């Protein structure tokens, strides 16, 4: 499944590259205002940080929310106190787009994460050209050499990689990939089963000073508190926010957990 998602994302990127060359997207990336100081924004440790996600659908959960106006949703997240906004740009199964990323970037002042199945530099150039401050890199989807090369390229573009792991072995691979946030995704992207305990089991491998992100499986404020109590600096939340009538109030309730 993960290989299929990556192959689809790459195919879509290759199609865009026919229209916008690598040189052109690189020019656009270099013309962009510099990235925000993500490390400074996530530095305060007195409270948990929330990365709030704009996600219409997912292969595991199907349709979640129509989200006519992703910028409005992102603004609601920002009002609720989100430290960053994650935007799914994968179009086939998550029904996102780079237009969503543009719309969100234009509206909010907080850092923005491009959530995509990234396997080539072109996609990172796009992320920067469309204003992303952070880009997701999934250890399970990439061989170590590619993973490290893309992490380095992300940093060269001024962005922060969110290095995603599901297992001890993958956490160690993330640490080898150098500076970045390290996320433990409770959702196993090969079977789609949820393992909320995974973050707590793996977080001690991640050195202090590295932002530890607990990803997925938050439904209630108690879930945020559990992640926080087991050492999360930040929690990445999608479904529980996009399916609520009042995302600002929901986000506040998570922040106050
Ligand atoms: O909707 P949830 O369960 O709150 O999950 C959010 C986020 O962690 C999830 O969307 C995610 C984490 N890693 C990913 C990699 C690809 C696609 C999606 C994801």
Asked whether the predicted pLDDT for residue 190 surpasses 80, the reply is no
Query: What percent of the chain clears pLDDT 90, i.e. is strictly above it?
Result: 97
Out of 184, 185, 189, 220, mutate this one to test ligand 1's pocket (max ligand atoms within 8 Å of CB): namely 185
- How does pLDDT run across 50-100, given as a tens digit for each residue? 999 999 999 999 999 999 999 999 999 999 999 999 999 999 999 999 999
Pick the catalytic residue from 90, 116, 120, 215.
215
Mean pLDDT across 178-203 = 94
244 included as an active-site residue:
no
CB hemisphere CA count around 93 (13 angstroms): 16
Confidence of residue 165 (pLDDT cuts 50, 70, 90): very high
Sorted by where each begins, the domain ranges of the chain are 2-32+46-255
The answer, yes or no, to whether ipTM is higher than 0.95 is yes
**pLDDT tens for residues 101-145?**
999 999 999 999 999 999 999 999 999 999 999 999 999 999 999
Q: Ligand 1, residue 61: give the atom nearest the CA.
A: 1
The CA distance from 171 to 138, in Å, is: 11
Annotated catalytic residue 216: yes
Q: What are the CA-CA distances from residue 242 to residues 69, 124, 145 (Å)? A: 12, 26, 35
Mean pLDDT of the chain: 97
Give mean pLDDT, residues 182-203: 93
53 is catalytic: yes
Q: What is the mean pLDDT of residues 15-20?
A: 98
What kind of fold does domain 2-32+46-255 have according to CATH?
A: TIM Barrel (3.20.20)
Interatomic CA distance for residues 227 and 222, integer angstroms = 9
Q: What is the mean pLDDT of residues 28-32?
A: 97
- Confidence check: pLDDT of 192 > 90: no
pLDDT of residue 188: 86
239 is catalytic: no
């Amino acid at each position: 499944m993960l290989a299929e998602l990556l192959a689809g994302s790459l195919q879509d990127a290759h199609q865009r590259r026919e229209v916008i060359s690598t040189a052109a997207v690189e020019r656009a990336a270099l013309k962009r205002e510099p990235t925000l100081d993500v490390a400074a924004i996530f530095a305060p440790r007195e409270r948990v940080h929330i990365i709030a996600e704009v996600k219409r659908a997912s292969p595991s959960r199907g349709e979640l929310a129509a989200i006519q106006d992703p910028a409005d949703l992102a603004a609601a997240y920002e009002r609720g106190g989100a430290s960053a906004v994650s935007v799914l740009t994968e179009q086939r199964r998550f029904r996102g787009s780079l237009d969503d990323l543009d719309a969100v970037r234009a509206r909010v002042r907080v850092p923005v994460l491009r959530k995509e199945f990234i396997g080539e530099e072109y996609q990172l150039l796009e992320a920067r050209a469309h204003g992303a401050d952070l880009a997701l890199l999934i250890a399970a989807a990439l061989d170590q050499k590619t993973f490290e090369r893309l992490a380095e390229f992300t940093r060269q573009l001024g962005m922060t990689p969110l290095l995603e792991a599901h297992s001890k072995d993958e956490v160690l691979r993330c640490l080898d990939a150098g500076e970045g946030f390290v996320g433990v995704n409770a959702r196993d992207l090969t079977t789609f089963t949820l393992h909320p305990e995974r973050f707590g089991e793996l977080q001690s491998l991640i050195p202090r000073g590295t932002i530890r992100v607990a990803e997925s499986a938050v439904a209630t404020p108690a879930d945020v508190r559990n992640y926080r109590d087991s050492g999360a600096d930040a929690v990445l939340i999608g479904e529980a926010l996009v399916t609520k009538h009042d995302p600002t109030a929901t986000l506040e309730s998570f922040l106050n957990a």
